[in-house]
Structure formats: structure tokens, C-alpha cells
Amino acid sequence: ILFKAQYGHVYEVKCMAFSPPPVLPPHASDSDFNWIDTFIMKGDVVPCLSFGAGADLQTIIVYVCLLLRARLCSDQVFDCLDECRKRLRTIENNIKLKHAGSVFLIQKFMDEKEEVNIDQVSNDQFKEIIMTPNMLEHHLPNKMIKAFDIFSVE
């Protein structure tokens, strides 16, 4: 973009982003960023970390504390949490950012073949922070090295 403006030349550039946080406003045009491919590992928390999703998570945590204080049974707590999530999705002034370019979700299936599946997905899958037991484990150095070894070209 800068070369075209300054020198009149257009260079073909392809960018690959691996599990970035969302940085674009929802109204940003996807066609302006078609030179970017974003790859996200299923269960990774970083691609969901926008200010709006963080505000939602804070609301949910406070709500859970209030529910536990009321000594509700676990089924009632989960029902209330589902209702809270549904209501949070309807708040229009809580803007969720989106990823640039085409978004691909990487899923690893733990079967005999240890298959990896990569599908193009919508940005809508990353508007909410879903807490999982292994979401922080994905960012430990040994996991990152193993992931790069899988995708390295010899």
C-alpha cells in the first residue's frame, strides 16, 4: 500500500497471522485485507481477546460470584449463565473486534492418525471468550515448538 502511494508500483504481498488478537472494527471491509490469512488453533484464548469480549467476561465472572453467593445448585447456575450470555450478545454498544483477512480454524483430532483439519470460518466464532482447562497451556513454549515442527517444511 505504501509502495503504491510513494512509487506507483504494486507488489504482491501475502501475510500469515497465527492466533492474533482481533484488531479490526466490525465495519472494516474484508476485501481490503484479502492478502492476509489468519490461522487460529481451536481453543486458543488470544483470538477472542478484544475489549468487548473482556468486558463480557468480567460481567459473567461477577454474575457467577453473585449466583454462588445465593447458593444456587449447579444446574441453576449454568442455566443463569446461559441466559446471561444470551443477553450480553444483544448489547449493541459492546463492540467486538474482528480478524483481518480470511480466517482458518485448525483442529487436531486425537485419534490413531492424529489428523489435523483446517477449515475457513467466520469471525463470529471469536466474539466470546470461552474458558477451557487447557487454554493457557497452548501458550507454553513446548507447545509452540511442537506446533511449528508439525507445520515446518523440510
How much is the pTM? 0.65
In this structure, which amino acid lies at residue 60? I
Please tell me the predicted confidence (pLDDT) of residue 42.
82
Among 50, 65, 41, CA closest to 143: 41
Please tell me the predicted confidence (pLDDT) of residue 106.
87
Please tell me the predicted confidence (pLDDT) of residue 110.
61
Question: Residue ranges of the chain with pLDDT lower than 50?
Answer: 154
Please tell me the predicted confidence (pLDDT) of residue 5.
65
Please tell me the predicted confidence (pLDDT) of residue 139.
58
Among 114, 106, 133, 119, CA closest to 47: 106
Please tell me the predicted confidence (pLDDT) of residue 104.
92
> What are the cell numbers at 74?
449447579
